[in-house]
Amino acid sequence: MDRFYDLVEGRALSRVSTPTSYTKLIDAEVPTAVRDTIGGYLRNAETLGRRTAEMHLALASDASNPAFAPEPFALEDLGAVGMDATAQAQAALATMERAGTGGPLLEKRQALLDAIRTPTALEFMTSKIRVHGDYHLGQVLWCEGDFYILDFEGEPARPLAQRRAKQSALKDVAGMMRSFGYAAYAGLFAHTASRPAAFEALTPWADLWETWTTAAYLRSYFATVGNALFIPQQSHQRDELLRLFVLDKALYELNYELNNRPDWLRIPLTGILRLLG
């Protein structure tokens, strides 16, 4: 990331419109400013999207093994995701109120809770499968122009039964999407550590990098999985379910940063506010 910020530092960034849904982002033409500055990262993100899809296709391929056979993703599964996100939201809001921080999100409290509680009704047939469960950039190894996926034990803090439980494949996808945001901002923190005044000037470039690497990743992922039964076939249903998983992950991150790294709070906070529009 340091090379990217070296490249763009001092450059003026003309306004680049950001599509308002994941489907529109995937279908959008990549702006010239993006190709000129992050073209190599886009190719890497496409490779990672393809490898992620191949992982999920493999995990869903053995219907004869009860531990790996896909199962219906039911209304109660959707409810469980919503319950987890609600608990994360309420914990974060209470902590921010006590600490006197996170004002913009506190002002959007009701919008946040509504976004969790009112997802599109489960009017589609899709499957849940065994997933990685703790999927982010720290769990992949870049070697000789390709990615190798590591550490399939799931989130270490969770009981083994939960780590083995089948879930929507979009949980892994959402985890990687949030990891792009962390990569962009962790790189920015390091690049401007001795020059804090440069942070705000480079923030739009960090957002640009996150948005369009995410687009490349999703485009490649969905092209590779095709009509797999573990992905909703209607784009608006897919978008809504993915948005809920991304929000749930960002709220988990928000609680972590509130309790461990307050200086990094703006990373999940920015992601949540963006999701709320």
Q: How far apart are CA 93 and CA 235, in angstroms?
A: 31
pLDDT (tens digit per residue) in 175-208: 999 999 999 999 999 999 999 889 999 999 999 9
Q: How far apart are CA 198 and CA 195, in angstroms?
A: 6
Structural domains of the chain, count: 1
How is residue 195 written in tokens?
Answer: 């020059």
pLDDT (tens digit per residue) in 113-143: 999 986 655 566 789 999 999 999 999 999 9
Q: What's the rounded mean pLDDT across residues 86-90?
A: 95
Q: How far apart are CA 272 and CA 112, in angstroms?
A: 8
Please, which residues have CB within 8 angstroms of residue 27's CB and are 6 or more apart in sequence?
Answer: 19
Q: Give the domain CATH number at 39.
A: 3.90.1200.10
The yes-or-no verdict on residue 166 having pLDDT over 60 is yes
**Residue-wise over 27-52: b if at least 16 C-beta within 10 A, else e?**
eeeebebbeebbeebbebbbbbbbbb
pLDDT (tens digit per residue) in 233-277: 889 889 999 999 999 999 999 999 999 999 899 999 999 999 998
pLDDT (tens digit per residue) in 18-37: 888 999 999 999 988 899 89
Range of the domain at 252: 2-10+17-275
Split at pLDDT 50, 70, 90, the class of 88 is very high
Nearest C-alpha neighbor of 115 from the set 257, 248, 249 = 248
Q: What is the predicted pLDDT for the residue at 122?
A: 57
Q: What is the predicted pLDDT for the residue at 118?
A: 64
Q: How far apart are CA 180 and CA 218, in angstroms?
A: 12
pLDDT (tens digit per residue) in 29-72: 998 889 989 999 999 999 999 999 999 999 999 999 999 999 99
The percent of residues above 70 in pLDDT, for the chain, comes to 97
Please, which residues have CB within 8 angstroms of residue 163's CB and are 6 or more apart in sequence?
Answer: 133, 153, 154, 155
